[in-house]
Structure formats: structure tokens, C-alpha cells
Amino acid sequence: MSLVFNSNKVRYDGTFEGLLSVVFASYEYKVDVVAIHEPNEQMGLFANDFWQINTDESKAKRVLFAIQKKFGVKECRALYRVFLSEDSHRAIMLFRYIKRLIDHEKDYRKAYHLDEVIYVKEQLKKIRREVHRMHAFVRFQQSRDDLYFSVIEPDFDVIPFIGNHFEKRYGDQRWLIFDKKRSYGIAFDLKSIAYFSWTDDVFGKQLKNILADSEEEYASWWRSYFSATNIKERKNMKLHLRHVPKRYWKYLTEKQEH
Amino acid sequence: MNSKVQEKLSILADAAKYDVSCASSGSKRKNKAGGLGNATGMGICHTYTEDGRCVSLLKILLTNYCIFDCAYCINRKSNDVKRAMFSVKEVVDLTIGFYRRNYIEGLFLSSGIFKDADFTMERLVRIARDLRLEHNFNGYIHLKLIPGASDELVHEAGLYADRLSVNIEIPSEKSLMAIAPEKNYKEVYEPMNYLKEAIQGYQKEKKIVKSTPLFAPGGQSTQLVIGATPENDFQVLQLANSLYQSQNLKRVYYSGYIPVSQDNRLPAISTPPLIRENRIYQADWLMRFYKFSVDEIITKEQEHLDLDIDPKLAYALRNLHLFPVDINSAPYEMILRVPGIGVKSARMIVQARRFKKLSDVHLRKMKMAWNRAKHFITYQGQKKFNLNPQAELIKNQILFSSSQKSASQLSLFR
């Protein structure tokens, strides 16, 4: 597979381990990688001018271990978060960032004159903001059998990062959060959190049949509260929309018609 | 049941909305096994009203019946509004029902004063106690202290609530007594002082005895109404400063007066003084996060903050002799004083400059307000710097560039 060693443009398999394998290979073959292509990327004219790097779990682990030894497991988690950002520059930027961390004696995580350091900081901020938004915007509906369920469509794949927060506060109720965009979610059964995947929006079809009797009551009380607590003399829709962008309205109880 | 609760909720949320406090942060209350709710970590705004204000807590009055007749207050006795009163159970059910659905972080409960201060306070405390003890609720609770309530009730409130507040409302006692004849500063400061002592006492004890219960872990706050009475910004900020320094308040909130009354003791205004309120908040921020002393922000002679520009820029223009600041060598405190550089970018600068001498190329990437900052800094490779800067000129340039961006100052804040 990996026939061309002399190219500084590479392709990987799109996984985090794959990216770490690219880092390893760049040391192994002393290649300064300048571009990292995603597996599904259209390659155009120079389709052959790249080096396909195979994912090697043991090599990936060695890279991760080097980072962990220097900066702790927290830093590894942060890198994984950035990887999950789905941003198109994440691969090359993370590659450059990781190399900086490994190459220098000094702690380069705060070297904000470098593009890749600022990039990682900003991606983390974006993801943190989305996680925070989900802490805020998840709206549970109670089902007849006492399950509190919620549907979300976040900008980033944040399901892996939000369970802990909800487990801490809703330890005494069964709940479930489903990311419809990515067709999977997490469910809590009073003991632990489990991942599940659905190809279908199960709720959408039979919502009316499964709701608890008091659910619509609470929802309408909440809508009354939301409109009564507003001060009309201070209306500022621009500010309102900045805080609650329209794309989130779909699942916000207070934004539904009565 | 449904429509009755709905109507009460509409009346009593509407009556409570002029209290602007919304914080749900700063507590340390952890969930217990089998319990509901968790009040650790940062606050969460679950939604925002159309006026752009954070909705974090279920903010309601227990009742809007009131024996007082404070001219600035919508719930005053002589005002012709619909009255309602929640039962203890209704408040508890709403709080828990809303919390389970992730609508809110907890409850902010206040009340009009019916019968007398203690009678009212006792009801508020009972609701908090029910939530904590009967329902194992560990979400956030903010209770309002009723001026004149007894120490025993204030103390009990502290055992169940995360935050307590007693509102000063009117920024001078003279004005307060003119428009709220039944009120005085003594009845406001008494519970505030009692709380301050109690909070400090519990904190001291907690250091020695780990099992000491939480007592108002989110501290106390208050609110000042801006523009209902003639106090100027100097007086307002001096008062706020003393509340932070000697009363140990966590927050002072400012509420631009919204005309809720035709009373001739109050100014006849049609719109609330939103820009003024915004400038006072900015000044408050400078005191709390930017290490400014109140005297650096405003002097007696100035009376009011500049409405055109924010108080940090105003400070820099008044003190041009302190600028430009050398980004690569100035201490953190001085970099923090540069208009356009916030706490985050100041920290980034101080960290990054250990690696490399910083130039404008680096600084622009750090997301600071470059169009402001550039007038007040020097950096590596800078081509020219105006040796004889003039405050008026800089002000106009900044106002011009920000008007072109059409980003309204007001919406950028809060």
C-alpha cells in the first residue's frame, strides 16, 4: 500500500489513531508532512502524488504515550476533542501541534504566536461552547413510563462529552439524549450511561402516544413563564438571537407553538 | 388546576422580572446519592428572553400582594394590578417539574410583603426547606431576604439557600425615604450585616470541622435601580464599591429604571436608561476583574460616566501619559489596562512573549479589538507611533471605526 515514501503529502484513514500514525511515520522516515488528506477527499490532478499511511495501533499508542508522559492524560483528551471537531483543517493542524509538543523541551501549549497553538485553543473553545450549549438547550420530555428523553442536533459531535453533567444532576431519573444528526445517543438507566444508535427518529413518529399526561401541562407552563418574564420595554432581538441562534429553536420547548 | 397555575405563573413571573439577578454560579452544593440536582460549577443560562436576558432560574414571587407602597415598584399597594399567591406545594412542584426537564438551574424566590416581614420570610424559608429536606433537591436556590426579617429566619434561610440577597434598590437613603416611606437603610443593612458575619463564621468553621454544613455558599448580592432617583454615577459606583469592599457582596446588579408608575415623585421617562446602565456594568467589571480602583474610573467632578465610550477607553484617554504600553515588556496589570485587550488576550500576550518578541502579526491573531488597542501599544517592528497623541483624535478615530462596523456597543455587552 504505502509505495511512495518520498512525498510530503499524505493520506490517512480518517481516524484519530490514523493521524497519530502519521505523526509516527513522519519521525520514522524523517518526512516533513505538509498536507494530510482525508480518505474520502477528491484528489484531482495529482492523485498519485501522496503517501498512503496505514494505521498502526501500537505506533499510535507510542505517540499518545509520549504526550501523556509530558502533559498528562488531560492533554490527550483535549487533542481527541479537537479531532472530533470535524473541522477540515484539524488533521494538519493537530499534526503540527503534536510535533511542537514533542519536539520542544519547553511547554509549547501556550506559545500563542504560532498558528497551530491558536487553532487548537480556538477549536477547544468552540467545542466547549457547544457542550455548554447542550447543557443549556437539552429539553427533556417525560414519557408515560417515566423516561425523560431529548433530541438534539449540535454543531459538533459532543455526545461523548455531555453525559457526565446530566448523570450528576439527574441521578434519580431515567433519561436519554439522542443526536439526530449523527444517529446515536446516550441513555442513563439509574446506574450507568450506555451508547445506542438509531437510524430512525423513533420519537418523531409516535410522540403523542408516549408522552406522560402532565407533560403538555409543564411545557405550556414553561412557555407562559418564558413570555411573562420578558421585559417588553427592553426588547433586543439581536442580542436574543446571538444567545439563542435560530438553528437551536427546533427542540426548545419555549420556542414551540402552543 | 392547570389554568389556575398558568395564570398565577404569568402574574407572579411578570411581577418578579424587574429583579435582574440571574446568576446560578458560585455555589458548591453537590448532588447526594439518590437526590435531584447539582449546583456546582459554572452557571447555565437555559434560554434568553427576547430582551436578551439570561433565564437561569425560575424567578417568581410567592405573592404580589404587598402592604408597602414604594413608588418605584410595580407591586406597590396602590397600584391597580391583578394579584395572586402561590401555595407552597405549587412552587415546589413547578421547581422540580421544570428542573427535571432541564428548563432551569433552580429557583429564585422573592415576595411582596404580606402581613409583616417575618410572616413573609417564614413562608419563603419553608419552601426552600421543603425542597431540600422533603424532596432532596440540590439545585440552586436564591432566596430574597425581606427587609426587617428576624436573624433566626435569615439564619435558617442561609442553611437552605445557595445565594441570598436583600435589595437596596435606591442608591441613597434620602431618595429611598422620599419614594418608599415605609423603608429605610437600617432594615436593609441589618440582614446584610448579619449574613456577612454568619457566612464568614461558617467559612472559618468549615476550615476546621469538615462536616460544617453549607451556609449560603453562593454569597449575597443586591440590586440598585438606576435613573429613578437623582443619584449620579459617581454616587452609584462609590456605593457599589463599598458593598464589595466592606459588605463582601458577590455581585451588585444594576437595573435601569423602567417606568412602572405615573407617580410624580419619579421621573417621567419613556424608555429605560439602557446605555447608562451598560456603562455602569462596564465600570463594575473594571473593579471586579481588571483591578481598577473606583477612583480611577470616576471622580466626584465627573459625576457621570461618558455615554459615548466605555469607561476603560475613557480612563486611557484621560491618562495618555501612561501609554503606549510595550507589549513585550510591560507587566500584566498594565497590559490589562489597554483598551481593546481583555483578560484572556492579556494572558495570551504574557504567555506568548516568553517564546518570541511579539509583533502586530501575532497580536491580531489573538482576537483582541485591534482598532482600539493599536492606539495604546508598542510592539516589535512597529513602523511609527504618534509621539504626540491627542485624546480627542483617538476617540474620534475609534468611534468612527466602530460605527463603520455598526456593532452596537450595547449588544456587545452582557
**Distance (Å, whole) CA B14 – CA A227:** 9
Å between A162 CA and nearest CA of chain B: 13
CB contact under 8 A, A237 and B50: yes
ipTM of the complex: 0.89
Mean pLDDT along residues A161-174: 95
The residue from B266, B297, B328 where one domain ends is B297
Q: State the best of A125, A129, A216, A239 to mutate against chain B, taking most chain B CBs within 10 Å.
A: A239
Among the listed residues A147, A144, A201, A203, the one whose alpha carbon sits nearest the alpha carbon of residue A170 = A147
Between A237-251, B19-33, B82-96, the lowest mean confidence (pLDDT) is in B19-33
Q: Give the whole-number percent of chain A exceeding pLDDT 70.
A: 91
CB contact under 8 A, A218 and B6: no
State the amino acid at position B359 in one-letter form: S
**Distance (Å, whole) CA B380 – CA A12:** 40
CB contact under 8 A, B362 and A234: no
Å between A110 CA and nearest CA of chain B: 6
Q: What single string gives the DSSP state of each residue in B210-240?
A: TTPPP-STT-EEEEEEESSSS--HHHHHHHH
| Amino acid A170: pLDDT | 96
B381 CB neighbour count, 10 Å cutoff? 9
Count of structural domains within chain B: 2
CB contact under 8 A, A240 and B50: yes
CB contact under 8 A, B101 and A140: yes
pLDDT digits (tens, 9 = 90+) for B250-270: 999 999 998 877 778 888 888
Asked whether residue B59 falls in the same domain as residue B173, the answer is yes
Length of chain B counted residue by residue: 414
Q: State the best of A106, A112, A123, A126 to mutate against chain B, taking most chain B CBs within 10 Å.
A: A112
CB contact under 8 A, A224 and B6: yes
Residues 138-167 on A with a CB inside 8 Å of B are: 138-142, 148, 150, 166
Dihedral Cα B361, B367, B368, B372, nearest 10 deg: 70
Asked whether residue B284 falls in the same domain as residue B382, the answer is no
Q: Measured between CB atoms, does A129 come within 8 Å of chain B? A: no
Q: What single string gives the DSSP state of each residue in B229-277?
A: SS--HHHHHHHHHHHHHHS--SEEEEEE-------TTS---SS--HHHH
Could you tell me the pLDDT band of residue A45, with boundaries at 50, 70 and 90? Answer: low
Q: Give the whole-number percent of chain B exceeding pLDDT 90.
A: 75
CB contact under 8 A, A141 and B101: yes
Could you tell me the pLDDT band of residue B295, with boundaries at 50, 70 and 90? Answer: very high
pLDDT score of B410 more than 50: no
Could you tell me the pLDDT band of residue A2, with boundaries at 50, 70 and 90? Answer: very low
| Amino acid B181: pLDDT | 86
Asked whether residue B280 falls in the same domain as residue B349, the answer is no
Among the listed residues B193, B191, B198, B197, the one whose alpha carbon sits nearest the alpha carbon of residue B215 = B198
What is the residue-averaged pLDDT of chain A? 90
Residue of A148, A218, A228 lying closest to B14 (CB–CB): A228
Mean pLDDT along residues B71-82: 91
- Closest residue in A to B410 (Cα) is A239
Q: Measured between CB atoms, does A233 come within 8 Å of chain B? A: yes
| Amino acid A198: pLDDT | 86
Q: Which residue has the cell 415576595?
A: B111
| Amino acid A258: pLDDT | 64
At B317 the three-state DSSP class reads helix
**Distance (Å, whole) CA B128 – CA B57:** 14
| Amino acid B407: pLDDT | 47
**Pairing between β-strand A184-188 and β-strand B140-144 as defined by DSSP bridges:** unpaired
pLDDT score of B406 more than 90: no
Q: Helices A57-71 and A73-83 sit at what angle, rounded to 10 degrees? A: 120
pLDDT digits (tens, 9 = 90+) for A56-94: 999 999 999 999 999 999 999 999 999 988 899 999 999
State the amino acid at position B120 in one-letter form: T
In a domain, B303, yes or no: no
Asked whether residue B44 falls in the same domain as residue B171, the answer is yes
Kindly list the residues from chain A whose CB atom is less than 8 angstroms away from the CB atom of residue B8.
none
Cβ–Cβ under 8 Å, residues B46 and A137: yes
CB contact under 8 A, B44 and A232: no
Q: Is the peptide bond prior to B331 cis by the omega test (within 30 degrees of 0)?
A: no
Q: What are phi and psi of A181, to 5 degrees?
A: -65, -35
In a domain, B12, yes or no: yes
Asked whether residue B242 falls in the same domain as residue B370, the answer is no
CB contact under 8 A, B51 and A111: no
Residue partners of A164: CB distance under 8 A and separation at least 6: none
Asked whether residue B92 falls in the same domain as residue B48, the answer is yes
β-sheet with B57-61: strand ranges across: B57-61, B106-110, B140-144, B163-165, B220-226, B251-256
Taking only Cα atoms into account, the Rg of chain A, rounded to an integer number of angstroms, comes to: 23
pLDDT score of A3 more than 60: no
The residue from B297, B331, B364 where one domain ends is B297
Q: Report CA B179 to chain centroid distance, whole Å.
A: 23
- Closest residue in A to B139 (Cα) is A169
CATH code of the domain containing B214: 3.20.20.70
Instruction: State how far the alpha carbon of B81 is from the alpha carbons of A85, B12, B60, B65, B183, in Å.
Output: 52, 11, 16, 10, 22
pLDDT score of A141 more than 90: yes
Asked whether residue B271 falls in the same domain as residue B383, the answer is no
In a domain, B305, yes or no: no
Cβ–Cβ under 8 Å, residues B57 and B104: yes
Asked whether residue B292 falls in the same domain as residue B315, the answer is no
DSSP state at residue A55: P
Mean pLDDT along residues B78-99: 96
Residue of B48, B352, B410 lying closest to A111 (CB–CB): B352
Residues 29-58 on A with a CB inside 8 Å of B are: none
In a domain, B306, yes or no: no
Could you tell me the pLDDT band of residue A44, with boundaries at 50, 70 and 90? Answer: low
Kindly list the residues from chain A whose CB atom is less than 8 angstroms away from the CB atom of residue B410.
236
Asked whether residue B18 falls in the same domain as residue B113, the answer is yes
| Amino acid B322: pLDDT | 94
Tell me the residue range of the domain where B326 lies. 311-412
Q: State the best of A126, A232, A236, A248 to mutate against chain B, taking most chain B CBs within 10 Å.
A: A236
**Distance (Å, whole) CA B378 – CA B362:** 13
Asked whether residue B258 falls in the same domain as residue B400, the answer is no
The residue from B273, B297, B321 where one domain ends is B297
Q: State the best of B47, B57, B104, B136 to mutate against chain A, taking most chain A CBs within 10 Å.
A: B47
What pTM was estimated for this model as a whole?
A: 0.90
Residue partners of B375: CB distance under 8 A and separation at least 6: B323, B324, B339, B389, B394, B397, B398
pLDDT score of A144 more than 50: yes
Residue partners of A60: CB distance under 8 A and separation at least 6: A16, A17, A18, A20, A21, A24
Residue partners of B255: CB distance under 8 A and separation at least 6: B18, B19, B20, B223, B224, B225, B226, B277
β-sheet with A35-37: strand ranges across: A35-37, A9-11, A51-52
CB contact under 8 A, B31 and A171: yes
pLDDT digits (tens, 9 = 90+) for B302-315: 999 999 999 999 99
Cβ–Cβ under 8 Å, residues A66 and A59: no
Could you tell me the pLDDT band of residue B387, with boundaries at 50, 70 and 90? Answer: low
- Closest residue in A to B94 (Cα) is A218
What is the residue-averaged pLDDT of chain B? 91
Residue of A173, A238, A252 lying closest to B411 (CB–CB): A238
Residue of B58, B103, B351 lying closest to A110 (CB–CB): B351
Asked whether residue B318 falls in the same domain as residue B218, the answer is no
CB contact under 8 A, B411 and A239: yes
3-state helix, strand, coil in chain A (%, to 5): 50, 15, 35
**Distance (Å, whole) CA B211 – CA B256:** 42
Asked whether residue B217 falls in the same domain as residue B326, the answer is no
pLDDT score of A204 more than 90: no
Q: What single string gives the DSSP state of each residue in B121-134?
A: HHHHHHHHHIIIII
- Closest residue in B to A131 (Cα) is B44
Give me the total of CB pairs closer than 8 Å, taking one residue from chain A and one from chain B. 169
Q: Give the whole-number percent of chain B exceeding pLDDT 70.
A: 96
Å between A231 CA and nearest CA of chain B: 6
In a domain, B304, yes or no: no
Residues 213-232 on A with a CB inside 8 Å of B are: 214, 217-218, 220-222, 224-232
pLDDT digits (tens, 9 = 90+) for B172-202: 999 999 998 888 999 999 999 999 999 999 9
DSSP state at residue B59: E
Kindly list the residues from chain A whose CB atom is less than 8 angstroms away from the CB atom of residue B45.
136, 243
Between B136-140, B350-354, B379-383, the lowest mean confidence (pLDDT) is in B379-383
- Side-chain half-sphere of B279: how many Cα atoms within 13 Å? 22
Between A57-61, B27-31, B79-83, B235-239, the lowest mean confidence (pLDDT) is in B27-31
Mean pLDDT along residues B312-334: 95
Kindly list the residues from chain B whose CB atom is less than 8 angstroms away from the CB atom of residue A228.
9-11, 13-14, 17
